[in-house]
Chain A
Amino acid sequence: MSSRRPRWGRGGLLLGALALFVGLSALAGLGLGAFEVGPGAVVEVLRAHLLPGGSTPSPIVDAVVWEIRVPRTILGLAVGAALATSGALFQGLFRNPLADPSLLGITLGAAAAVAIAVLGIGMLDVSHAPLGLTPEVLTATRPYMIPLAAFVGSLVTLLGVVALASGPGRLDVTTLLLAGIAVNAIAGAVTGFAIFLADDAQLRDLTFWTLGGLGGASWTVVIAVVPLLLAGLAFVPTLARRLDCLLLGETEAGHLGVRVEATKRSVVGVGALLVGVSVSAAGAIGFVGLVVPHLVRLLAGPGHRILLPASALLGAGGIVLADVLARTVVAPAELPIGVLTTLLGGPFFLWLLAGRRRGR
């Protein structure tokens, strides 16, 4: 036991530092934007909504902070934590450093469904409403079609991949990986065909979707999405020790008393929930799920008890910080967040890698 204590100390320090990072990022998320609001006004708005008996500075400031920035920051924290955690989970499950949330076909499956939805919405003649739907119903549901398509698409691809990889009584991880790669290719082809048919506006819709964005954030979205993500994240700590054992190999983990099949299914289920829900709310934000767990491993080693929570924190803070920049760098316009996560995360990761090589 005593040999482990220094690692916990280091891990604790890392988690503390990351928590500070998340806190600062959230402050930036609430305080910064195209519309100028003083720090005092932000605090006043938060106090008015969270504590009894406060008053807000003005209706506009109130709406900007409470209706736009707060839900956006909360959604960013939840999506960032979910994407990074699912990346760590899948890398642990596959014992493969190249694994990321898109490996099981979940992200591209969602993208293919979104492509079909985008084209479908374009082709849909509202005046000849099918299925007995009124034009009003169709117009009203249009905004929800893309998130819904993303969620259904990710779910369908995941179920397909898992069904393919399920033998009698066991889930074969190698088949899971191969099926995921094949499904990715098929989904890519479907998306490609949709891009071929798309007109300029639809093409742009698709491109922007694949770069992700938190622009759809509102309290409605937060209430629909964040509880699901929190439920998934709450389950993750119970997987940490079992994933550590799985790193030794499935048989060895079994000898250590780990219920291997249940663990694999839990990891796939939780990971898919986190990715599917995130993707439907914020599009396909790239890079975070792949690189955040690697960053943490470079700093704290491969143990999942530190890796999982540290990834969640780094992902949460990183996404919110990237979103602050996305909203402010070209204000009053907005950059797609995927551009920033990759543009900032990439060089940072390379710098760490170079430092590690020199350190040896």
Chain B
Amino acid sequence: MKKIHNLGPIAVLISVAIAVVFTAGCSGSAGEERPAKSEQEREAKLRIVTLGGGATEVVYALGHGDTIVATDASSTYPEQAASRASLGYYRRVQAEGIIAQAPNLVIASDGSGPPAALAQLGEVGIRVVELPEVENLAQAKARITILAELLREEERGRALIAGIDEQLVKVERALSGRPRPRVLFIYARGGGTMLVAGQGTAAEALIGLAGGALAAPEHQGFRPLTAEAVIGARPDVILLTSGGLESMGGVEGVLGAPGVAATPAGAQRRIIAMDDLLLLSFGPRLAEAVTSLAKSLHPEVVS
């Protein structure tokens, strides 16, 4: 009796495994028609998987949003993108999950991975286009050009870039000769972790385009925020993502953060928040993001 009792747990494990294998058998036989069907579909039209919110936005702006069959968790704009099958976090996708969506083109933002998964997509014959990093205006335009050529929408791509340029020139004209307020970008993750953007960040590029000056120009990349560093940066304005503002407990929370009250921005309560994706993705809404930020920085000039 004792022996049988002792092997009981293993019997449970084995029955779990049997259950899983049985599921495999059933679902497999039910879905055997699928690969053939998807091969017909791929002849007919483009089926795109996008990884990265910025790339997804560009594909939509080029008029190919309806060909996107699946996308990653960061693709939250436009709203339709969020309703596509989600492949999870773009740096940790699984090859088989993508293959199951039967795409014929995968557009992967910089950092998509793991590399083995992207390589396996190539082995199945799916075209994988890896995009370069996008953190400034030139790179943002380059991404639009690359995707426009890829989707044979050169005309729309040029129009998109021309539209961005036109709007940016308008902002630049309105702001010419104006003093540039010092803007401190705080990247907050909640739980007391706050980072300040320095040189070479997307935040720096955006602030520059919107007629501001980066308030912490002496370091590269992101640095942890300290009270003294905040005071030393003398920001006139503090900029956050909406998610970041929420995680810090709203405007009052930011004002209560160490050092903030002693800055000009704190004294005048100039705290600005912008949508995360709009602010940092450098997608087709770049001009919109710049205009919106410029309005907040220079309310008297930009309308």
Q: Is A58 an interface residue (CB 8 A)?
A: yes
Q: With the chains together, A203 CA to B25 CA distance in Å?
A: 39
Report the minimal beta-carbon distance from B11 to chain A, rounded to whole angstroms. Answer: 7
Majority SS of interface residues in chain A?
helix
Q: Is A331 an interface residue (CB 8 A)?
A: yes
Q: Is A215 an interface residue (CB 8 A)?
A: yes
Q: Is B162 an interface residue (CB 8 A)?
A: no
Interface mask (A194-208 → B, CB under 8 Å = 1, otherwise 0) = 001101110111001
Q: With the chains together, A314 CA to B13 CA distance in Å?
A: 10
Q: With the chains together, A197 CA to B116 CA distance in Å?
A: 27
Q: Pick the contact of B31 from A13, A38, A318, A325 — CB < 8 Å?
A: A38
A residues 28-61 in Cβ contact with B at 8 Å: 28, 31-39, 41-42, 58-61
Q: Pick the contact of B17 from A13, A143, A201, A317 — CB < 8 Å?
A: A317
Taking residues whose C-beta sits less than 8 angstroms from the other chain, chain B's interface range is 35 or more
Residues of B within 8 Å of A98, CB to CB, are none
Q: With the chains together, A35 CA to B95 CA distance in Å?
A: 10
Report the minimal beta-carbon distance from B269 to chain A, rounded to whole angstroms. Answer: 27
Interface mask (A102-139 → B, CB under 8 Å = 1, otherwise 0) = 00000000000000000000110000000000000000
By CB atoms of chain B within 10 A, which of A60, A197, A299 has the most? A60
Question: In the complex the two chains form, is A32's CB within 8 Å of B99's CB?
Answer: no
Q: Is B10 an interface residue (CB 8 A)?
A: yes
Q: Is A261 an interface residue (CB 8 A)?
A: no
Choose, from B119-127, B143-151, B204-212, the stretch at the interface: B119-127
Question: In the complex the two chains form, is B124's CB within 8 Å of A332's CB?
Answer: no
Q: Is A324 an interface residue (CB 8 A)?
A: yes
Question: In the complex the two chains form, is B95's CB within 8 Å of A68's CB?
Answer: yes
Identity of the chain A residue whose Cβ is nearest the Cβ of B224 in the assembled complex: A196
Q: With the chains together, A188 CA to B36 CA distance in Å?
A: 51
Q: Is B273 an interface residue (CB 8 A)?
A: no
Residues of B within 8 Å of A203, CB to CB, are 189
Q: Is B245 an interface residue (CB 8 A)?
A: no
Q: Is A20 an interface residue (CB 8 A)?
A: yes
Question: In the complex the two chains form, is B17's CB within 8 Å of A36's CB?
Answer: no
Report the minimal beta-carbon distance from B152 to chain A, rounded to whole angstroms. Answer: 25
Q: Pick the contact of B96 from A34, A122, A142 — CB < 8 Å?
A: A34
Residues of B within 8 Å of A299, CB to CB, are 6-7, 9-10
Q: Is B187 an interface residue (CB 8 A)?
A: yes
Task: State whether A215 and B116 are in contact (beta carbons under 8 Å apart), knowing that A17-B10, A32-B23 are contacts in the complex.
Answer: yes
Choose, from A169-177, A216-224, A270-278, the stretch at the interface: A216-224
Question: In the complex the two chains form, is B221's CB within 8 Å of A123's CB?
Answer: yes
Q: Is B35 an interface residue (CB 8 A)?
A: yes
Report the minimal beta-carbon distance from A222 to chain B, rounded to whole angstroms. Answer: 11
Task: State whether A21 and B13 are in contact (beta carbons under 8 Å apart), knowing that A199-B195, A334-B94 are contacts in the complex.
Answer: yes
Question: In the complex the two chains form, is B222's CB within 8 Å of A199's CB?
Answer: yes
Residues of A within 8 Å of B36, CB to CB, are 58
Nearest 7 pairs of A and B residues by beta carbon = A333-B88, A332-B97, A36-B31, A31-B24, A24-B17, A143-B115, A334-B94
Binding site for B on A (CB under 8 A): 10, 13-14, 17-18, 20-21, 24-25, 27-28, 31-39, 41-42, 58-61, 63-64, 67-69, 122-123, 142-143, 196-197, 199-201, 203-205, 208, 213, 215-218, 221, 295, 298-300, 314, 317-318, 321, 324-325, 327, 330-334, 336, 348, 351-352, 355, 359
Binding site for A on B (CB under 8 A): 3, 5-7, 9-14, 16-18, 20-21, 23-25, 27-32, 34-36, 39, 70, 73, 85-89, 91-101, 111, 113-117, 119-120, 123-125, 187, 189, 193, 195, 220-224
Query: Could you show 25 A-B contacts with beta carbons less than 8 Å apart?
Result: A21-B17, A24-B20, A27-B24, A31-B28, A34-B94, A34-B100, A36-B30, A38-B29, A39-B28, A64-B99, A67-B120, A69-B96, A123-B220, A143-B115, A201-B91, A203-B189, A208-B92, A215-B94, A216-B117, A218-B116, A295-B9, A321-B17, A331-B100, A332-B96, A332-B101
